[in-house]
Structure 1
């Protein structure tokens, strides 16, 4: 996780030290393993890991330290097997002979959130049953409302059709309709009798003309 950044020059003129860039920040969960690293070129190989807390006081770190050197680059690794909350702070390498401090890495140790409610299995089952009941209500209630609205709409349409039929009958005068119907029947019957009479008259006239 360490990147190769430009080196920084510092130290005395007689002994030049080139510091590699440190990891600026590291966040670690409580009781996890953490590893910090500092690298530099030149200068003395003897160094001390120091920690600065919120009071800015320097404290020597006594955790596991390992040294690695390759291609004139000297690296020191500080390892925490199980970090504690009080391990939070800024960690730097202090070069004893050159009196140079690296830029350092700020390590933050955090405690994960714990479950505030410890439920038994029976309580969990009850909650699941209640959730299922609520889900069933969410399905049944809208369906029932929709069915009720559909029935109400159908009844309203039937009532409207019945009212329209009643309005049609109310607009008609039944007495006048019956009188008109009787007049039509009488006129048809009278016309038929007249035709028979006319035919009979013409027949007689014809018979009289015969010798």
Structure 2
């Protein structure tokens, strides 16, 4: 089941999942990232293979029907038979094929969906994820409630929540301490499996840093 449920906040994703492995933990300590379906790369690769296969099958059927092979296949066979392995074009083709193969292996072996932060799993058969932009929006809204904060920019990654605030009154150390307390409480309430660590910077208007 994908998409937010009836009571789920915007930016969350829920899906049915098999019972967790022993190291997955109901508290979310070993919660795994969501895997992308890779629909676009898989669809493009399938279409490419289908087109190449259909072209070769058509040419083979034509040859079996006593018709001449296509000119491009005869040229390709002559080039492959006549060019040495250290030829520049052979190396370029091999390099392109290698890079493409490594890219496909990378897509197959990595989860993807880096924008989804896994949440803790109080129920073994349900997984939930919070979108990074949604998490950043919640942290920004809470940070704006701190006295003295004029504007806030928040960027959430898997490990950190970088918060840059501008304060137009109060001491910067006091604003920074309040921000850290509010952000730590907010991150804890998000129920993330691996809560990002808030990194807070506070400056005066017109200053960079």
Alignment TM-score, normalising by the size of structure 1: 0.20
- Which is richer in strand? 1
Structure with more contact order per residue of length (Cα contacts < 8 Å, sep ≥ 6): 2
Q: Structure 2 length as normaliser, TM-score?
A: 0.20
